[in-house]
Structure 1
Amino acid sequence: MYDVIGIGIGPYNLGMAAILEDLPEIEAIFFDKTDEFIWHPGMLIEGTDLQVPFLADLVTFCNPRSKYTFINYLHVHNRLYPFYFFNRFDIPRREYSEYAAWAAKEIQCCRFGSCVTHVEYKKGETPHYEVHVENKEGTQVYQTRHVVMGTGSIPLLPFETEPAEDVFHSSDYMFRQESLKKKKSITVIGSGQSAAEIFLDLLQSQDLFDYELSWFTRSAGFTQLESAKLGQEVFSPDFVSYFHDLTFEQRKKALPELEQLRNGVDKTTLVSIYDLLYHRSIHGKDARVKIMPLTDVKDLMADGEKYVLKCHQWQSDTSFDHTTEGVVFATGFKPNIPEWIEGMKDEIIWEDEKLFKVEKDFRLAFKDGRKEGIYTLTNLEHSHGTGATNLALSVDRNMKIINSILGKEHFKDQGKNVFQQFMP
């Protein structure tokens, strides 16, 4: 009987596993269907950085002395001096991926190549969950008192379309970029950091490959990520606690106001794009670039080797067609809710027809009030706010979950660390 079984090993559950390795009173095991740790491999573009400081690693906010801190990773790999001279608070995305992969190999309770196919609650003298796991040896059944669901997210497309070699989601960009750049025209759809990074990479290669390049978004503009220090305080345990205490209607109303804090583009990326466009404009080389906000792409239709995008400029209520040979949908992600949750649908309390209720300690709310928890690390925006799944808050979330499992405050509350107050 395990105390905890983690389903999915992304950065969130990996951080949970790292913390639990130093807590012998909790016996845990974590499963992931992939053969090894891999973090957004399709978006590890050379020169791109994390949008959070390196302190938002797997464990530092819980235990800066842990062997799994980013600083210790640098020490182990003889990279402390290069990082010191690098003199940056943010870190390359590729280096974060390699750091997390290193931790995944070191942590003893991580099991890769193991797909969780079913989870069932068993009542009785010792209530628990049965977790069915498929791997190369077949199917094993494990028992646990608690489950931590870290199943991540999956690509979100704006409408029904079949992915192809030249039409794909941004999560596949690094795998498809070589063939994509051989096209005569490419269109990027979306306005967030991923869209901007892909557009910049394509812009930098445009002279070499000589394609037309377009960038569309339905947003009103290509806005900069909020970087003001007071603005960043919404990514704090204090704000998450405040947000959860709001009513469901108040939370739904507040979410759009918080979107720019998470979905804007880093200033350096926007500056790099504009500077490159400006330098090219000196010699009139900007004619093969089209950038359009306020543009909703409604549909995509194949036309021989090309595609026709059905577009609508919503502010002026003007529809138009755009022809292109390649399309990258940088349109974000949606929560990856496993099928076995459907089997518990009638046992769960729902805030509306699609969103399950999540308690303050990140447990799903069940009608029977069971003590055995299913904790969720994703699909938390409606319950804990836009910043709830930010890497900087993942450690605090894991600490709260561990406290809940132990039934005591093993880790001290990390609130009251911001200068703002969100309630009178």
Structure 2
Amino acid sequence: MNPEATSDTYDLVGVGLGPFNLGLAALTQPLVDSGELSAAFFDQRPGFIWHEGMMLPWATIQVPFMADLATLADPTSEYTFLNYLKQHGRIHRHYIRESFYPLRSEYSDYCAWVSSRLSTTQWDTLVTSAHRDSDGTWVVSLRDTTESTGDAPVVRRIRARHIVSGVGTVPHVPAALAEATGADGVFHSSDFLHHLDEIRASSSVTVVGSGQSAAEIYRALMEHAAESNRRLDWFTRSPRFFPMEYTKLTLEMTSPEYTNYFHGLGVDARDRINRTQRNLHKGISSELINDIYDTLDRLSIRRSFHSTLRTGVSAAWTPGAEPTDGTTGRHRLRLTHDESGVSGVHATDTVILATGYRPPRLPEFLRPVADHIRRDEHGRMAVGLGFDIDDAGTLFVQNAEEHTHALSAPDLGMGPWRNSVILSRILGREVYPVERGVAYQSFGGEGL
């Protein structure tokens, strides 16, 4: 194929097939079937799997099953989680189980099942770049990750009237620990299960982080560490082990009303508010916190579990420093207690950085058109209320707008609402009714 050739033109091209763009593909499929819209969605991976490195057999997602790809936009859709259960003969078992929270592995399988039923998803396809043509359409370059011609990758080009970027987030490591990345025995939590045998064989393990991933990893290693007489420590910069806030009035902060209010604030105000709200969606499930405590109590009976849990501690990579707490291991972390100012050096054989994820400052494929994208004073994408990032309203993003849309950005349950908004912007009509009056409470100072 001529690498300069441009073939098909689509009304909508989705880049990345995580849960949010996969949900968009599911809501788009009926429109594709009816001929109202043409669409294609691409992902460089061979297929859908969600958080493969953290697919612990007992781990659940932190939102109810109604926060699936389609239900909150269209409960009659064939792509709902309940229909997945029905088609797999599991709906009565799920009813008997009486749990709103699917296993993470089950949710991943559900998403893969949805993908297999869609005509618009294309895996093993990397979107390398996009640029705007003179007629206003986007020229999107694609590369099949399974094929090449000699040393040159096979490239094809398509056209798109609208692009929705759903490339997801990437592992984040704080600057004080950045030099640790790539060292033997240092892993980000996203790779935990890929290195589980090596981690379990380590003489000592230190988990750094405060959220659900840190808690799950600590819990997964507890019994093995106790039985094999190995150290397992957990340090976090957070002032306490925050539970995820899941009370009903707080959940209204993921509503369209709160999102609209938050978006209307100034940049500095939004950033300040976001810093105070992290535990609302980055905390630990209360069930897991209680399970960890109960396990600590049970293991303490034998007095064979060597573990330190400490909050309010900042960690920095300090190679070669002399340990001050009696620990041993090939790696050194300087720990500073933020409230007292006391610091010391901790030694450990393995470090697991459960330090979270961040969206890329700009998706790689959009770098050639960086000048077309709105930015705020900090250089971040200035995402419009309708999730657009260009003045023409042809580029949209998913889960890259926490700084402009607050808690709704990473929330799985708000994915169908966001996709309904994006589709209404593309088509000029509401295909799926967009709820506007969700919250009982009022936000902001209007009417005072």
- TM-score category (smaller protein): over 0.9
The CA RMSD over aligned residues, in Å, is: 1.6
User: In the alignment, is the contact (CA less than 8 A) between 2:253 and 2:259 conserved in 1?
Assistant: yes
* Residues 29, 110 of structure 1: 8 Å contact kept: yes
Q: Which residue of 2 aligns with 1:261?
A: 280
1:148-198, Cα deviation, whole Å (9 max, x unpaired): 000001111123233245210000111111221111110000010010010
**Deviates further, 41-50 or 313-322:** 313-322
Give unmatched runs, 5+ long, in structure 1: none
| Residue deviations 1:237-289 (CA, integer Å, cap 9, x gap) | 22112211222222122111211101111000000011111222234344x11
Give the alignment partner of residue 328 of structure 1, picking from 339, 352, 358. 352
Q: Which runs of 5+ in 2 are unaligned?
A: 1-8, 149-153, 322-327
Matches within 5 A, 1:17-416: 17-24=25-32, 25-124=36-135, 127-135=136-144, 136=147, 138-158=154-174, 159-160=177-178, 161-164=180-183, 166-286=185-305, 288-301=306-319, 306-336=330-360, 337-364=362-389, 366=390, 369-371=391-393, 373-416=394-437
Task: Measure how far apart 1:230 and its partner are.
Answer: 1.1
Q: Which amino acid aligns with 2:310?
A: M
User: Does residue 16 of structure 2 align to residue 16 of structure 1?
Assistant: no
Report how far residue 419 of structure 1 moved: 1.6
Q: List per-residue Cα deviations over 1:225-244 (Å, max 9, x = no partner).
A: 11211111112222112211
Q: Do 2:206 and 2:234's aligned partners in 1 also have CA atoms closer than 8 Å?
A: yes
Partner of 2:5: none
SS in 1 for 2:84: helix
Q: Distance in 1 between matches of 2:133 and 2:121?
A: 25
Give the secondary-structure state (helix, strand or coil) at the position aligned to 1:327: strand
Residue 442 (structure 2) aligns with: 421
Amino acid at match of 1:70: F
TM-score between both structures, scaled by the size of structure 2 = 0.90
2:12 aligned partner: 4
Secondary structure at the aligned position of 2:12 is classed as: strand
C-alpha change, 1:106 and 1:257, in structure 2 (3 Å) is same
Are the aligned partners of 1:118 and 1:133 in contact in 2 as well (CA < 8 Å)? yes
Length, aligned pairs only: 417
CA–CA separation in structure 1 for the residues paired with 2:406 and 2:215: 24
Identity %: 33
TM-score (normalised: structure 1): 0.95
